[in-house]
Amino acid sequence: MSMALKQVFNKDRTFRPKRKFEPGTQRFELHKKAQASLNAGLDLKQAVQLPHGEDLNDWVAVHVVDFFNRINLIYGTISDSCTDQTCPVMSGGPKYEYRWQDELKYKRPTALSAPKYMSLLMDWIEVQINNENIFPTNVGTPFPKTFMQVAKKILSRLFRVFVHVYIHHFDRVSQMGAEAHVNTCYKHFYYFVTEFNLTDHKELEPLKEMTSRMCH
C-alpha cells in the first residue's frame, strides 16, 4: 500500500462511524474468523464459504456490515472528485443509470446526482444494519423472515458503488495507489454474493467483462 493511500485509509474517511461487533458475541467471533481467513492469505473463493456448523444468516450479517464499512471507506477516498458537477447522474457508464427509491421521501425511482445517491444509500444502509428487528445483535434472537431479502437489497445497492467507482473514478483510485486494495475488496465482495446467490445477475452486468478477467 502506498504512503498516500495509507494516510487516506488511516484517516478512516468514512461518512459515518463504523458499525462494530460487540466483543463476546457470536457475531464478533464470526467476524474474527472471517478476518483470520483473509489475513492468512486464504484464497478469497474459499474464504467466503460458510464455516462448518455456522448459521448462514449470521455469516451474511457479518459480511454485510463489513462490506458496508469497507465500501463506504473506498467511496470516501474518491468522494472529492465525485461531485454534482462531475457526476450529475448516478450511473455506470452510458448504459446504466441508477435511480433512488426508498419508503420515505423518494417513493418513485428518482434520478439523482451520484454524491446525493451515495449519501442517501449509506444513510439507508446504516438504518437497516442498526435496526435490531432486522439485524439482531443478541445471540438467540431469531432473524426476521425478511432478513435475506433486506441483505440482498443492501448488497445489490453496494455493488452499484463499485460500478460507479470503477467506471467513473478509477483514474483517481490508481492515482492514489489504491488499485490493488479496491480490486481485492471487489473480488471478495463478488465471490461472496455469487457464492450465496445474493445479487441478481443483471445487477452484475456493468462489470461483467472486468470481473471475468479478474475473478475467473
Binding-site residues: 82, 87, 164, 169
Q: Which residues are annotated binding-site positions for Zn(2+)?
A: 82, 87, 164, 169
Task: Report d(CA 196, CA 204) in Å as an integer.
Answer: 14
- Beta strand ranges found along 118-210 (DSSP E): none
**CA nearest to 166, candidates 65, 110, 96:** 96
Q: What's the helix, strand, coil split of the chain in %, to 5? A: 60, 5, 40
H-run or E-run covering 56: helix 56-78
Packing angle between helix 56-78 and helix 26-39, nearest 10 degrees?
Answer: 60
Q: Which three cell numbers stand for residue 92?
A: 455506470
